[in-house]
Amino acid sequence: MSATNTQTSDAAKPKGLVAQWFALLWADKFAFFAALFLLIAVLCAIFGPLLFETLATKQNLRGRNAPPFDLSRGWAFILGADALGRPLLARIVVAARNTLLVAGAAVVASAVIGTTLGLIAGYSRKRAAQWIMRLGDVIMSFPSLLLAVIVLYMLEPSIANIVLVLAITRIPIYLRTARAEVLEVRERMFVQAAKVMGASDMRIIFRHILPVILPTLVTIATLDFAFVMLAESALSFLGIGIQAPEITWGLMVSQGRPYLTNAWWLSFWPGLAIILTTLSLNLLSNWMRIALDPTQRWRLEMGGRKNG
C-alpha cells in the first residue's frame, strides 16, 4: 500500500500488453507450467484425432494389457495398452478432444447461464428473482444422475445432449454463488456512488458488480471442470453417455476398472490426465485471480522476489 508499489507498476508500463501479461505469467512458475500443459492438451484435442485416429483404434489382441515403459512395441505403447491391445498414449491423445469438448462446453454453458441468472436474481428484487431461485432449488433437488438418465433416455445420447444435461445440472452452483455475491456487492459504497452519478443498471452490473464477483466464479468453474469430466464418465459407464468407439478420459477410467488389480495402468494414465488438467486449471485460475486484481497484482510484478 505504499509508494514502492506504485513505482513497480509504473516501471512495467513501456512494455507491450502481451509482453506484460507474459511477464506476469512467468512470475508465477506453477501457473506458467499449468498454462503450458493446458496448451498441449488443447493442441492434442485439435490435432490428435487427425494424426492418431487409426493408431488409437487398431486392435492388437496379442498386446492385450501390455505393461507400460516397454518400448519393444514402439513408442505409442510407452504407457502400455488397453484390454484390446490399443496403445494408451494414442488413445489419451485422441480422447482429449471429446473430453475437453464435453467438459469445456458444459462448464462454459452452465457458468454463463448460471451467472446471468444469478446476476438477475441478486440485483432485481422483483418476483422474477424468486422464480429463478426456486428453479435452482428444483434442479438441485433432483439427483443429477437421475435427471441425466431421464433426459438421455428420451433424447439420443450424443455429445450435444450430454453437454446439455451436464450444463443444466451444474447451473445452480453458479446461480447461488453469483446471487449471494451480488447481494453483498450491490450494497457496497462504490455501487451507491455509481447510482448517484446516474449509472444505468446494466452499467452497474457489468462495470461494477461483475468484475468483483468474476474471480470467485472462475475458481468454481475450474473446480467444476473435474467434476463434469467424471460425471460424463459415469454417464458413459451407464451406457447413456459417449459410446464406443468414441472415447473420453472418463470412459477410459471406467473401462479400466475391471482390470485394476492386474493392469493398473489402464485407469491410471487417463486418470492422471484428468488430475493434471484440473490441477492446471486451478493453478491458472489462482494466478488469474491475482493478476486481474489491481490490489494484488504487485505480488506478481515483484517478479517472485522474496522478502523476509
Partner 1 sequence: MADHLLEVRDLSVEFHTAAGTVKAVQNVNWYLDRGETLAILGESGSGKSVSASAVMNLIDMPPGKITSGAILLNGKDMLKMSAEERRAINGAKIAMIFQDPLAHLNPVFTVGWQIAEMMTTHGRPRDKAAARARDLLHRVGLPEPDLAFGKYPHQFSGGQRQRLMIAMALACKPDILIADEPTTALDVTVQAQVLALLEELQQETGMGLLLITHDLGVVAEIADRVVVMNGGQIVETGNASEVYHNPQHPYTKKLIAAAPGSGEMPEESDRRGEPLLRATDLHKYYSAFHALKGVDLTIMPGETVAVVGESGSGKSTLARAILRLDDPSSGQIHYRGKDLMTLGPRELFGLRRDLQMVFQDPTQSLNPRMTVFQLISEAWAIHPEILPRKQWRDRVAELLTKVGLKPEMAVRYPHQFSGGQRQRIAIARALAMEPKLIVCDEAVSALDVSIQAQVIELLAGLRREMGLSYLFIAHDLPVVRDFADRVIVMKSGEIVEEGPVRQIFEAPRKDYTRALLAASLDPDPEIQAARRTARMELEMAVSA
State yes or no: residue 197 binds partner 1 (CB under 8 A).
Answer: yes
State yes or no: residue 294 binds partner 1 (CB under 8 A).
Answer: yes
**Residue among 1 and 50 whose Cβ is closer to partner 1:** 1
Smallest gap, in angstroms, from Cβ of residue 302 to partner 1?
6
Q: Are 180 and 258 in contact (CB under 8 A)?
A: no
State yes or no: residue 211 binds partner 1 (CB under 8 A).
Answer: yes
Footprint on residues 18-57 left by partner 1 (CB under 8 A): none
Give me 87's grid cell.
496403445
Residue 214 has a CB neighbour count (10 Å cut-off) of 16
Segment lying near partner 1 (by CB under 8 A), choices 29-37, 109-117, 226-234, 295-303: 295-303
Please give the helix or strand (H or E) that residue 95 lies within, else none: helix 88-123
Smallest gap, in angstroms, from Cβ of residue 17 to partner 1?
14
Please name every residue paired with 87 in a beta bridge, in sequence order, or none if there are none. 81
Give me 301's grid cell.
510484478
- As a whole number of angstroms, the distance between CA 89 and CA 269 comes to 8
**Residue among 28 and 224 whose Cβ is closer to partner 1:** 28
State yes or no: residue 190 binds partner 1 (CB under 8 A).
Answer: yes
Give me 9's grid cell.
507498476
Q: Which of 38, 199, 238, 272 is close enough to bind partner 1 by CB under 8 A?
A: 199
**Residue among 21 and 190 whose Cβ is closer to partner 1:** 190
Residue 1 has a CB neighbour count (10 Å cut-off) of 7
State yes or no: residue 208 binds partner 1 (CB under 8 A).
Answer: yes
Residue 107: which residues within 8 A CB-CB, separation 6 or more?
170, 221, 224, 225, 228
- As a whole number of angstroms, the distance between CA 306 and CA 79 comes to 40
Segment lying near partner 1 (by CB under 8 A), choices 82-90, 117-125, 216-224, 299-307: 299-307
State yes or no: residue 308 binds partner 1 (CB under 8 A).
Answer: yes
**Residue among 60 and 216 whose Cβ is closer to partner 1:** 216
Q: Which of 64, 73, 186, 195 is close enough to bind partner 1 by CB under 8 A?
A: 195
Number of chain residues interacting with partner 1 (CB under 8 A):
34
State yes or no: residue 154 binds partner 1 (CB under 8 A).
Answer: no
Give me 244's grid cell.
464406443
Q: Which of 5, 20, 65, 161 is close enough to bind partner 1 by CB under 8 A?
A: 5
Give me 47's grid cell.
490435432
Q: Are 71 and 78 in contact (CB under 8 A)?
A: yes
State yes or no: residue 193 binds partner 1 (CB under 8 A).
Answer: yes
State yes or no: residue 17 binds partner 1 (CB under 8 A).
Answer: no
DSSP-derived secondary structure for 234-291: HHHHTTSSS-TTS--HHHHHHHHGGGTTT-THHHHHHHHHHHHHHHHHHHHHHHHHHH
Secondary structure class of 146 (helix, strand, coil): helix
State yes or no: residue 298 binds partner 1 (CB under 8 A).
Answer: yes
Q: Which of 14, 16, 198, 245 is close enough to bind partner 1 by CB under 8 A?
A: 198
Where does this chain bind partner 1 (CB under 8 A)? 1-2, 4-6, 9-10, 13, 188-190, 192-200, 203, 207-208, 211-212, 292-295, 298-299, 302, 307-308
